[in-house]
C-alpha cells in the first residue's frame, strides 16, 4: 500500500478537508465533529478513521471521550502550507488582472 | 519561471508578505479594491458593504458548496487612493482572531504596478492555523471557480 498516495487521497475529499479545517482551530470529539455535518455519523466516523489511519489526525483520550487533533508534523510533511495559500491569492489576482484589463 | 505572486514569511514570525506584479496602471489596480462589483468578481464573494474610506467598514459573504454562508469583515483604518489601504480582516463566527492587513500600491510604470500586502496575525500559532485554512478553502474555491469558468464556456 502506498501510504503517501493515501494521504493525498485523504485530503482530496471535501468532507475530510472540512474536518481538517475544524481541527485546525481546536481539538474535537468524534461526536462534535459529526454534529457539524448533515451526513450520517457512521460516514463521518469513517472519514475520521481514514484521517487517523494516515496520521493526519491523532487521538487523545481525555476521560471517557476521545479527542481528535491535527498532527502538524504529518500535515507539514504532506502539504507545504504556503503554496496553497499563494495559489489562492494568485488565482484571485489573475482574475483581478483579467477583469481590469478589460476596463482599459 | 518566475512566480507572479510571491509570499515571503519567516518561520518564527507572525506576519507574512504577499507581493504581486500587475500589468495594470496603478489607478486601475486600486479601483479593483474599491469598487464593490469588481471586488465581488475577483474575490468570488458577495459584497454586502464596502465603504472605501478611512473608518469605513466592509463585509463580504461567500456561500460554500453545501449552501452555508460565511461572512468576512473588517474596518479600514488608512485609505490613501493609489497608495495604501490599512484594514482589519475577520472571519465572522470562527475562533480566529482579527488580523491586520497593510496593502501598498506602487507605480512601476504607466502600465504596471505592484501590490504588497503584509498580513499580521495575533500570534505565530494563529498564523500557522490560518495558513492551514486556505489549503482546505483554497482548493474548494479553485474547484468552484474552475467549474464556473467551464460552465461559462458551454
- CATH number at B72 reads 3.30.530.20
Per DSSP (E only), the strands in chain B are 5-9, 15-22, 46-50, 57-63, 69-80, 84-91, 99-109, 112-120
Closest CA to B122 of B74, B88, B84: B88
Confidence of residue B147 (pLDDT cuts 50, 70, 90): very low
Least confident of A12-26, B38-52, B110-124: A12-26
Residue B61: the pLDDT is 95
Task: Quote the pLDDT of residue B63.
Answer: 85
- Please list every residue in chain A whose beta carbon sits closer than 8 Å to the beta carbon of residue B66: 38
What does the pLDDT read at residue A1? 41
Q: What pLDDT, on a 0 to 100 scale, did the predictor assign at position A79?
A: 53
B118 found inside a domain: yes
Give chain B's domain count: 1
Within a domain: residue B5?
no
Judged against a pLDDT cut of 60, whether residue B150 lies above it is answered with: no
pLDDT at site A2: 45
Q: Which structural domain, as residue segments, surrounds residue B39?
A: 14-153
Residues B30-35 have a mean pLDDT of: 95
Is residue B29 very low, low, confident or very high in pLDDT (cuts 50, 70, 90)?
very high
Residues B88 and B76: their CA atoms lie apart, in Å, by: 7
The shortest CB-CB distance from B135 to any of A79, A91, A94 is to: A79
Is the Cβ–Cβ distance between B71 and B52 less than 8 Å? no
State the DSSP H helix or E strand holding residue A63, giving kind and residue range, or none if neither: none
Is B97 part of the contact surface with chain A (CB cutoff 8 Å)?
no
Tell me what ipTM this predicted complex has: 0.78
Q: Where are the domains of chain A?
A: 3-79
Whether B7 maps to a domain, the answer reads: no
Q: Output the nine-digit C-alpha cell for A44.
A: 463521518
* CA atoms of B40 and B42, how far apart (whole Å): 6
- The least confident of A1-10, B14-23, B104-113 is A1-10
Q: Which pTM does this prediction carry? A: 0.64
B5 to chain A nearest CA, in Å? Answer: 5
> Residue A25 is nearest to which of B18, B129, B138, comparing CB atoms?
B129
Determine the distance from the C-alpha atom of residue B67 to the mean position of all C-alpha atoms in its chain, rounded to a whole number: 22
Interface test with A, best of B103, B122, B132 (most A CBs within 10 A): B132
Residue range A33-71, pLDDT digits in tens = 999 888 889 999 999 999 999 888 999 998 899 999 988
The pLDDT, as a whole number, for residue A12 is 66
Would residue B47 count as lying in a domain?
A: yes
CATH architecture of structural domain A3-79: Orthogonal Bundle (1.10)
What confidence tier does B46 reach under pLDDT thresholds 50, 70, 90? very high
State which residue of chain A sits closest to B126, comparing Cα positions.
A25
Mutate to test the interface with B, among A71, A83, A99 (most CBs of B within 10 A): A99
In a domain, B3, yes or no: no
> How far, in Å, are B29, B53, B146 from residue B25 at the CA level?
6, 21, 27
Comparing CA positions, the residue from B2, B45, B34 lying closest to residue B21 is: B2
Amino acid at each position: 500500500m502506498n501510504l503517501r498516495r493515501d494521504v493525498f487521497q485523504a485530503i482530496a475529499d471535501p468532507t475530510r478537508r472540512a474536518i481538517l479545517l475544524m481541527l485546525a482551530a481546536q481539538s474535537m470529539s468524534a461526536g462534535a465533529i459529526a454534529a457539524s455535518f448533515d451526513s450520517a455519523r457512521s460516514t463521518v466516523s469513517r472519514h475520521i478513521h481514514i484521517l487517523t489511519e494516515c496520521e493526519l489526525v491523532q487521538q487523545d483520550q481525555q476521560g471517557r471521550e476521545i479527542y481528535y487533533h491535527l498532527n502538524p508534523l504529518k500535515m507539514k510533511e504532506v502539504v507545504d502550507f504556503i503554496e496553497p495559500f499563494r495559489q489562492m491569492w494568485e488565482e484571485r489576482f489573475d482574475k483581478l488582472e483579467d477583469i481590469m484589463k478589460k476596463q482599459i | 519561471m518566475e512566480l507572479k505572486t510571491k509570499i515571503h514569511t519567516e518561520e518564527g514570525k507572525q506576519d507574512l508578505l504577499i507581493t504581486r506584479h500587475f500589468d495594470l496602471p496603478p489607478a486601475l489596480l486600486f479601483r479593483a479594491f474599491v469598487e464593490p462589483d469588481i471586488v465581488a468578481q475577483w474575490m468570488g464573494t458577495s459584497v454586502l458593504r464596502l465603504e472605501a474610506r478611512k473608518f469605513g467598514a466592509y463585509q463580504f459573504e461567500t456561500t460554500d458548496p453545501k449552501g452555508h454562508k460565511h461572512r468576512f469583515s473588517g474596518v479600514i483604518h488608512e485609505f490613501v487612493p493609489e497608495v495604501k489601504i490599512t484594514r482589519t480582516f475577520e472571519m465572522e463566527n470562527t475562533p480566529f482572531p482579527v488580523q491586520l492587513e497593510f496593502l501598498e500600491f506602487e507605480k512601476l510604470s504607466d502600465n504596471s504596478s505592484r501590490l504588497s500586502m503584509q498580513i499580521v496575525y495575533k500570534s505565530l500559532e494563529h498564523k500557522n492555523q490560518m495558513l492551514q485554512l486556505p489549503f482546505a478553502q483554497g482548493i474548494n474555491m479553485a474547484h468552484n471557480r474552475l467549474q464556473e469558468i467551464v460552465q461559462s464556456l458551454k
